[in-house]
Structures are given as C-alpha cells and as structure tokens.
C-alpha cells in the first residue's frame, strides 16, 4: 500500500523537496506544533464539517466523492462569503494542490480532505502556518478517528495505513 501524503501546495514536492525550502515557505517544522485544543471555529463551520463527515467522504466512486467535497465547499463559501472556485482536476497544467489568489481558484487534482481545507484556509487569506493550523485542527475536530490513525512527517499528515488507495 502506498503511503498517502497530504501534500499541500508544494510545487517542489519530490526530489527537490527539502526542509529549508519548506521552512522558508513558512510551514511549521512539525505539524503537531500547530495542534491547539483551544482553537475556536465558527459554529456553522464545525456543523458543515460534521455534516460532511456523516456523508462519509471517502466512500463511493471518485465522482461521488467529488460531489460531497463540492457540497462542503459550497457550505464553506456561504459561511465565509466567498466565491472561490474549486477545480478537482489538473487545471491549466497544474497538477498539485494549490490556491491561486489572482483567480480565486483552488486546484485539487487528488481528492484529499486535509489538502482541501488547507487550500480553503489560503482562500481565507491565511499564510502557510495559519493554513496548516486551521486545516489540521478543523480536520481533527470533525474526523477524530481518522486523525488518530495518522501521524506527522514534518508538517505533512500521513495515514498510518493506506486506505484502499484513498486519500484522507
């Protein structure tokens, strides 16, 4: 089983990846650093995430999973008054997850809930550390059991075991 990584907008991911580049980009060295039990979220946000969790985002076909994520995205856009577009395929040759501020577009070629939340946090104007903090704490709140089955490698949240080829 391949290890599934939540790669958050890392165009340099792969051979060129190095700690120094990540540090300069503002990523926390260890994802666990940004976990914070006292972090508060809007009540509607937590409610939207829990509704999404009940729909079992990793079940169903890829098309079905995309629909569930699109619905969560619609909810979050309403809550935060955003019109950010979500592209769940390779877009303009971009094949890594990222947020493009000029176009207000999230590109998410691979389905990953944590990566989606990370990029949405960028859409809300959060910097690298803030996006890690927002997405990881929110994911943990809505998916405590999935979170417990993950560990950190640097700032990346990695599933302990491959889940039949699906990302978290």
List interacting residues with Zn ion (CB under 5 A). 8-9, 131
Residues whose CB is less than 8 angstroms from the CB of residue 114 and which lie 6 or more positions away in sequence, other chains included:
6, 8, 135, 136, 139, 157, 168
Closest distance of CB 161 from Zn ion, Å:
25
Could you give the 3-state DSSP secondary structure of residue 160? coil
Closest distance of CB 126 from Zn ion, Å:
9
Report d(CA 67, CA 2) in Å as an integer.
Answer: 25
Question: Where in 31-110 does DSSP place strands (E)?
Answer: 85-87, 98-100, 105-107
Nearer to Zn ion, 25 or 46 (CB): 25
Closest distance of CB 12 from Zn ion, Å:
12
Structure tokens at 122: 């960028």
Closest distance of CB 131 from Zn ion, Å:
5
Residues whose CB is less than 8 angstroms from the CB of residue 44 and which lie 6 or more positions away in sequence, other chains included:
75, 79
Nearer to Zn ion, 108 or 131 (CB): 131
Closest distance of CB 97 from Zn ion, Å:
8
Structure tokens at 40: 């508060």
Position of minimal CB gap to Zn ion: 9
Nearer to Zn ion, 47 or 110 (CB): 110
Phi, psi for 87 (deg, rounded to 5): -110, 110
Nearer to Zn ion, 9 or 84 (CB): 9
Report d(CA 35, CA 151) in Å as an integer.
Answer: 12
Nearer to Zn ion, 65 or 97 (CB): 97
């Amino acid at each position: 089983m391949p290890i599934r990584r939540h790669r958050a907008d890392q165009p340099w991911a792969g051979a060129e990846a190095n700690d120094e580049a990540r540090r300069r980009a503002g990523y926390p060295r260890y994802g666990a650093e940004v976990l914070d039990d006292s972090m508060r979220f809007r009540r509607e946000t937590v409610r939207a995430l829990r509704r999404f969790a009940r729909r079992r985002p990793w079940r169903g076909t890829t098309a079905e999973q995309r629909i569930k994520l699109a619905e969560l995205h619609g909810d979050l856009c309403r809550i935060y008054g955003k019109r950010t577009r979500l592209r769940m395929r390779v877009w303009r040759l971009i094949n890594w997850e990222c947020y493009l501020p000029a176009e207000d577009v999230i590109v998410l070629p691979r389905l990953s809930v944590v990566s989606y939340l990370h990029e949405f946090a960028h859409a809300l104007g959060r910097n690298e550390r803030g996006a890690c903090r927002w997405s990881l704490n929110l994911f943990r709140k809505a998916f405590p059991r999935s979170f417990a089955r993950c560990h950190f490698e640097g700032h990346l949240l990695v599933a302990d075991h491959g889940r039949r080829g699906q990302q978290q």
